């Protein structure tokens, strides 16, 4: 654990990419192979199962630190990270421990069949033998998500340097479902083929945005200058669903979402068509809710995400289908190095043979002779229930991760309203102890009605200014939330809007964020609830 704690500390102690890679390499070079795999699992989001619920961990941490509950909670608000708060509040340990990461994780996993009392004794003993940095990472193991400020690609780069295996191959080998207990370092670095692990997905190829905000809007002419001849590109709608990779190998099917979650059971409607595919087929596409052959807004699909069991009603209200846009494996062969156009032909042939054309759909190609023509077509996105258009270079291979060059997303401008900030809450991580999470309201008569929360979109300098304002203009405090003097106006952008009975305002937004601070607008000139309602689908 000392090496792992030091790894964390060293990664925190530099902002330079090369230094971080060096730190990661040093770690790999100095720990046992089992520790390497555990580290890799943790750094790619494969956390050990939580064996003690976080309420108990919190309670026992308060006991160990000997402070009242309210002070613990307020400390947490200052620190913005539970694992870190607990490690800062506990008295310094008197003992030390030389257990490896592997040994610690084995102990954590062995808690599964222990009584609460045994768990408590174990935890108190463990805390007492760890120094504060070790305690921090240990608490992370127990409770938190392991966000480390190091991208997976840096970890892969370090591993590639150590093993001499190319980064894309390594990225592929750590995809899918594996746990460090059943995947050894020796297996990771030996020669592999796609069939070695029949459930393993390929790394997703992600598009780069052409424009992010309305202020940076690009014209057709600029797009043409950047991308060249329109004839070299294919265009499709950018669907607003769940990006998924669908695998049929050895008579078995697997559905992976982009977050590397195995989601096979969540989409039973897709099973018949997948089972009917030839073995050795992997498709890339978007899962959407459909009704009468028309895609439905994401909010409909959202109602079934996260449900443990899918009731008949949900399946009836929100039936799904796939819009497929790529084929990555065909007849058992990895075809990612073929061109976009070649892969498209294979995909079209596969789709032509399906007996489930309502479920296995093709992402239609948009015909366009010039960038100007495509720009005009793009304006229909919202009517198509799409977020904009995708551009794919016809001779592009299927690459790994978000790469600039061959795949672009050209989204339409978000919807937006001007709203007044009315509540603020402190953020987490690098925004700890700063008011960064805001609730916004629009006018309903002479009242301000909250309608959206947003966390992102401001620069660090702007956040500092808003934080300064919040601290000096607090009207009331409710736990961590402050009611602030309604004064600051922001332009809030969002991708979609729907009716909602769960919200006071009667509406729910998709992906709200701050587009800009409207220093020029007094609060009286913010938008109204009626102007928001006018944006609802079917309201023109």
Binding site for another protein (CB under 8 A): 12-16, 65, 67-68, 70-71, 74-75, 78-81, 84-85, 88-89, 149, 428-434, 460, 463-464, 467-468, 471-472
- Alpha carbons 370 and 352: distance in angstroms, whole number: 29
Task: Report the C-alpha gap between 85 and 387 in whole angstroms.
Answer: 40
Q: Which is nearer to another protein, 20 or 46 (CB)?
A: 20
Contact 122, 56 (CB under 8 A): no
- HSE-up of 287 (CA within 13 Å, CB side)? 26
C-beta of 209: minimal distance to another protein in Å?
25
Closest CB 84 distance from another protein, rounded Å: 6
Nearer to another protein, 89 or 452 (CB): 89
Other beta carbons less than 10 A from residue 431's beta carbon: 16
CB of 28 to another protein, least distance (A): 19
Write down the least CB distance from residue 404 to another protein, Å: 25
What is the Cα Rg of the chain in Å? 26
The residue among 164 and 479 lying less far from another protein, judged by its C-beta, is 479
Please give the DSSP secondary-structure letter assigned to residue 518.
Answer: -
**Whole-number minimum distance, CB 372 to another protein, in Å?**
43
| DSSP state letter for 419 | E
Look-up: residue for tokens 């007094």? 522
Could you tell me the maximum CA-CA distance found in the chain, to the nearest angstrom?
A: 74
Q: What minimum distance in Å lies between the beta carbon of 16 and another protein?
A: 8
- Residue 463 beta carbon to another protein: minimum distance, rounded to whole angstroms: 7
Task: Give the distance from CA 364 to its chain's centroid.
Answer: 27
Cα 212 to Cα 164, 218, 413, 483, 499, distances in angstroms = 37, 10, 8, 31, 26
Which CB, 78 or 231, lies closer to another protein?
A: 78
Asked whether 451 and 529 are in contact (CB, 8 A), the reply is yes
Q: How far is the CB of 74 from another protein (least distance, A)?
A: 5
Looking at beta carbons only, is 127 or 398 nearer to another protein? 127
Burial (Cβ within 10 Å: 0-12, 13-18, ≥19) of residue 226: exposed
Cα first-last separation, the chain: 60
Nearer to another protein, 378 or 428 (CB): 428
Distance (Å, whole) CA 207 – CA 227 = 14
Distance CA 226, CA 217 (A): 14
Q: Which is nearer to another protein, 78 or 341 (CB)?
A: 78
């Amino acid at each position: 654990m000392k090496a792992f704690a030091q790894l964390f500390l060293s990664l925190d102690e530099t902002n330079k990419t090369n230094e971080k890679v060096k730190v990661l390499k040093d770690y790999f070079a100095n720990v046992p192979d089992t520790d390497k795999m555990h580290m890799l699992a943790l750094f790619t989001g494969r956390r050990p199962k939580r064996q003690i619920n976080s309420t108990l961990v919190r309670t026992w941490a308060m006991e160990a630190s000997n402070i009242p509950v309210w002070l613990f909670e307020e400390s947490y608000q200052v620190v913005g990270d539970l694992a870190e708060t607990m490690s800062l509040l506990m008295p310094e340990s008197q003992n030390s421990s030389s257990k490896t990461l592997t040994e610690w994780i084995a102990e954590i996993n062995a808690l599964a069949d222990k009584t609460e009392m045994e768990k408590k004794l174990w935890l108190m003993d463990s805390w007492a033998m760890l120094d504060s940095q070790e305690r921090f990472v240990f608490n992370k193991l127990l409770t938190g998500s392991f966000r480390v400020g190091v991208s997976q690609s840096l970890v892969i780069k370090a591993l590639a340097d150590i093993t001499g295996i190319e980064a894309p191959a390594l990225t592929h080998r750590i995809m899918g479902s594996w746990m460090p207990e059943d995947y050894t370092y020796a297996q990771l670095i030996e020669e592999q083929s796609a069939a070695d692990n029949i459930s393993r997905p390929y790394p997703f190829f992600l598009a780069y945005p052409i424009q992010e905000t309305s202020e940076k809007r690009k014209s057709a002419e600029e797009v043409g200058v950047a991308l060249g001849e329109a004839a070299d590109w294919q265009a499709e709608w950018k669907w607003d669903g769940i990006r998924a990779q669908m695998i049929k190998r050895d008579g078995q099917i697997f559905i992976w979402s982009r977050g590397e979650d195995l989601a096979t059971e969540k989409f039973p409607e897709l099973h018949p068509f997948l089972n009917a595919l030839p073995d050795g087929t992997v498709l890339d596409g978007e899962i959407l809710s459909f009704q009468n052959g028309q895609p439905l807004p994401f909010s409909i699909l959202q109602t079934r995400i996260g449900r443990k069991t899918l009731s008949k009603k949900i399946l009836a209200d929100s039936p799904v289908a796939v819009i497929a846009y790529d084929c990555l494996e065909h007849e058992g062969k990895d075809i990612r190095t073929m061109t976009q156009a070649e892969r498209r032909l294979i995909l079209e042939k596969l789709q032509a043979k399906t007996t489930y054309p309502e479920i296995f759909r093709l992402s239609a190609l948009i015909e366009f002779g010039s960038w100007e023509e495509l720009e005009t077509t793009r304006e229909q996105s919202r009517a198509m229930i799409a977020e904009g258009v995708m551009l794919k270079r016809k001779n592009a291979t299927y690459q790994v991760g978000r790469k600039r060059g061959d795949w672009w997303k050209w989204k339409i401008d978000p919807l937006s309203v001007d709203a007044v900030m009315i509540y603020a809450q402190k953020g987490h991580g690098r925004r700890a102890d700063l008011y960064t999470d805001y609730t916004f309201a629009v006018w309903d008569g002479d009242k301000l009605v909250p309608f959206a929360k947003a966390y992102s979109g401001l620069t660090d300098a702007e956040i500092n200014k808003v934080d300064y304002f919040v601290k000096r203009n607090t009207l009331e405090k409710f736990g961590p939330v402050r009611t602030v003097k309604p004064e600051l106006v922001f332009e809030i952008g969002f991708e979609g809007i729907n009716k909602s009975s769960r919200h006071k305002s009667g509406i729910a937004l998709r992906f709200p964020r701050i587009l800009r601070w409207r220093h020029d607008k007094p609060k009286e000139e913010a938008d109204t609830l009626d102007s928001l309602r006018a944006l609802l689908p079917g309201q023109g």
